[in-house]
């Protein structure tokens, strides 16, 4: 299969590209390197530097590659920047996605797999664990734009027959996650404690999230492309882990005992989030396979080696 991975120089996208290559697929990565790094692009993938907001770039790329599958991972993926600058968030997450979807329809792409969001979509009042049936109530501009793309995908399927999948990710962690941003608490905490610095916890640390390892996420993407199902699926473990528990696991793996600093709770944050992945198990045969502490140990080990800590 010929595959395009948007954001393939980034955290999750690079894992998707790597898995596709291991299965013998021809992979082309497009990334504007705003947060991605060329070093993340796996060997064997063709790299194209470009912005998905540029429709002519997207059309030219699809015309050259003639992809069978598109894995759309590129995004503005942080909560606070979406509150501060919702226009920028919208231009990347909504306009960029629409450019890709419309072009995919024109080029008769067989499957369009989209990285949606679980925690940012369901909002603060969702039952735990949350199923796909619960009404979406985004609590941030980021959540609004990520969810809105699902409606475009549904429209293009109903009117033009495009097969698609929107994977509502829980909190993804693992090697290659950016420790400089705000979206990856595992990456941020790992680098902090390994460097002997105090990590900052926003709020009291009791906030609970559903943490799923990046390689499990990549497998969900591949199974989505290979399968015949179109629609929305949660990709998650269904297990709640507090921020304090995350830090404790990282400290155990790193062999450190550094006290955190506590800051103000962030606007748009929610107290609890865990998603049910029962539908993913039924429709594409996917379940998370990497236990949390094992994934944390692998992430800390990668962080230590990558940053020389």
Residue 72 backbone dihedrals phi, psi, to 5 degrees: -95, 100
In this structure, the strands spanning 261-263 and 171-173 are: unpaired
The strand pairing partners of 72, in sequence order, are: 6, 114
DSSP state of 130: B
> d(Cα 123, Cα 134) in Å, to the nearest integer?
10
| Max Cα distance, the chain (Å) | 57
Between the CA of residue 24 and those of 3, 20, 40, 45, what are the distances in Å? 11, 7, 19, 11
Instruction: Note if 211 is an active site residue.
Output: no
Distance of CA 112 to the CA centre of its chain: 15
Selected catalytic residue, list 114, 122, 142, 173: 142
Which residues are designated catalytic? 142
């Amino acid at each position: 299969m010929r595959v395009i991975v948007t954001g393939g120089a980034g955290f999750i996208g690079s894992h998707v590209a790597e898995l596709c290559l291991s299965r013998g697929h021809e992979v082309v990565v497009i990334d504007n390197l705003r947060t991605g790094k060329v070093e993340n692009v796996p060997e064997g993938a063709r790299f194209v530097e470009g912005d998905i907001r540029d429709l002519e770039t997207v059309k030219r790329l699809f015309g050259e590659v003639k992809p069978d599958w598109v894995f759309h991972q590129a995004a503005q993926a942080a909560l606070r920047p979406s509150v501060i600058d919702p226009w920028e968030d919208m231009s990347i997450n909504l306009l960029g996605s629409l450019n890709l979807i419309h072009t995919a329809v024109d080029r008769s792409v067989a499957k369009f797999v989209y990285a949606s969001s679980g925690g940012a979509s369901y909002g603060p009042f969702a039952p735990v664990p949350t199923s796909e049936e619960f009404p979406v109530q985004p609590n941030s501009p980021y959540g609004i734009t990520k969810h809105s793309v699902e409606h475009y995908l549904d429209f293009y399927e109903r009117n033009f027959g495009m097969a698609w999948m929107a994977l509502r990710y829980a909190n993804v962690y693992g090697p290659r996650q950016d420790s400089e941003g705000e979206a990856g608490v595992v990456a941020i905490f790992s680098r902090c404690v390994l460097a002997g610095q105090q990590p900052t916890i926003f709020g009291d640390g009791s906030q609970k999230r559903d943490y799923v390892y990046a390689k499990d996420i990549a497998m969900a993407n591949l199974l989505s492309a290979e399968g015949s199902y179109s629609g929305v699926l949660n990709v998650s473990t269904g297990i709640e882990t507090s921020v304090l528990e995350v830090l404790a696991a990282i400290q155990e793996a790193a062999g450190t005992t550094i006290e955190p600093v506590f800051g103000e709770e962030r606007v748009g944050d929610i107290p609890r989030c865990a998603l049910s992945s029962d539908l993913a198990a039924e429709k594409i045969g996917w379940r998370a396979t990497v236990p949390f502490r094992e994934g944390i140990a692998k992430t800390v080990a990668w962080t230590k080696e990558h940053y020389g800590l």
